[in-house]
């Protein structure tokens, strides 16, 4: 029987990366896309309590016109990437999928950026539900970019996980540098890093931003990332900085077992 593959992202169902991913995955199984109706970058593992989330099945002709293959079914969802996974599993798919793929994100999700990432949030959710899952991200913020140099790596890991699964409680976070040819793949940990100088004073006269009193100030998120261990060769950041794909196994359990055993 065909594998059933759910694909999600945080850039929205119309983004280029998710179409490339769905095309590659279509060679491996039956693909259903359930993705945000618009960009939800920075949504992390966020969910939408209290507000109805709307799911719309995109007509096949429209999805095809947007560049999806004829065998791919596409749903647009007003919720977060995690909402997309939850709704797909409970309300859309005919049975539990064999795999959940997320991305390809426009922008890397290496080091601590994975905590803010909706792309990674979606695979964490799939992992918590016991489904093998992989997040793919490319270090670029261009909306139009060439994913060709990474396709063989995406295909390799997708086929491998489709065939073998993943250890229970483990998902994968795969990142690519923006290069014309990858220098290899590094299986590695997330780097320790820090974002700094993250806020720029915004003009409160921006449309839709009301300046109510002199004590009000608007800021826009920006920032610079610093790898706190640039010499360490076993990190995702090192791999990306050296032209390699990074493959980081993630475990959605934040318990600090070292400290815990010390406290007992």
Number of residues interacting with a second copy: please give it, by CB under 8 A.
75
Q: Out of 202, 226, 230, 233, point to the residue binding a second copy (CB under 8 A).
A: 202
Cβ distance to a second copy smaller for residue 42 or 184: 42
Q: Which stretch binds a second copy (CB under 8 A): 14-22, 24-32, 97-105, 253-261?
A: 253-261
Residue 46 as a binder of a second copy (CB under 8 A): the answer is yes
Give the range of 15-23, 29-37, 96-104, 194-202 binding a second copy by CB under 8 A.
Answer: 194-202
**Phi, psi angle pair for 15, to nearest 5°:** -70, 155
* Choice from 4, 67, 87, 179 touching a second copy (CB under 8 A): 87
The interface with a second copy within residues 17-36 (CB under 8 A) comprises none
Interface region with a second copy, contact rule CB under 8 A, candidates 13-21, 26-34, 154-162, 255-263: 255-263
Nearest-angstrom CA–CA distance, 27 and 20: 12
DSSP state letters, 131-145: --EEEEEES---SS-
65 or 249, CB closer to a second copy?
249
Nearer to a second copy, 2 or 34 (CB): 34
Q: Would the CA dihedral through 153, 137, 179, 22 be positive or negative?
A: positive
CA 69 vs. chain centroid, Å, equals 21
Based on the shown chain and the rule CB under 8 A, indicate whether residue 41 belongs to the binding site for a second copy. Answer: yes
Residues 6+ apart with CB under 8 A from 147: 16, 17, 20, 104, 138
- Output phi, psi for 21, to 5 deg: -60, -40
Rounded CA gap, 162 and 172, in Å?
A: 13
Smallest separation, CB 31 to a second copy (Å): 18
């Amino acid at each position: 029987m065909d594998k059933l593959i759910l694909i999600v992202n945080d850039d929205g169902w119309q983004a280029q990366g998710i179409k490339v991913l769905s095309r590659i995955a279509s060679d491996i199984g039956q693909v259903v896309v359930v993705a945000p109706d618009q960009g939800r970058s920075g949504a992390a593992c966020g969910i939408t309590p209290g507000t109805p989330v709307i799911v719309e099945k995109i007509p096949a002709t429209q999805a095809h016109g947007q560049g999806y293959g004829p065998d791919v079914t596409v749903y647009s969802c007003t919720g977060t990437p995690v909402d997309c996974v939850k709704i797909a599993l409970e309300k859309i798919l005919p049975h539990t999928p064999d795999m959940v793929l997320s991305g390809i994100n426009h922008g890397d999700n290496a080091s601590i950026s994975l905590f803010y990432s909706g792309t990674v949030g979606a695979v964490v959710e799939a992992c918590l539900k016991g489904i093998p899952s992989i997040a793919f991200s490319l270090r670029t913020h261009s909306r139009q970019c060439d994913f060709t140099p990474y396709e063989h790596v995406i295909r390799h890991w997708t086929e491998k996980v489709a065939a073998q699964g993943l250890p229970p409680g483990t998902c994968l976070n795969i990142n690519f540098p923006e290069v014309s040819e990858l220098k290899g793949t590094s299986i590695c940990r997330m780097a320790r890093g820090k974002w700094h100088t993250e806020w720029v004073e915004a003009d409160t006269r921006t449309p839709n931003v009301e300046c109510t009193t002199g004590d009000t100030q608007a800021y826009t998120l920006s920032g610079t990332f610093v790898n706190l261990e640039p010499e360490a060769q076993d990190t995702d950041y090192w791999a990306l900085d050296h032209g390699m794909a990074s493959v980081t196994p993630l475990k959605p359990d934040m318990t600090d077992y070292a400290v815990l055993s010390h406290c007992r």
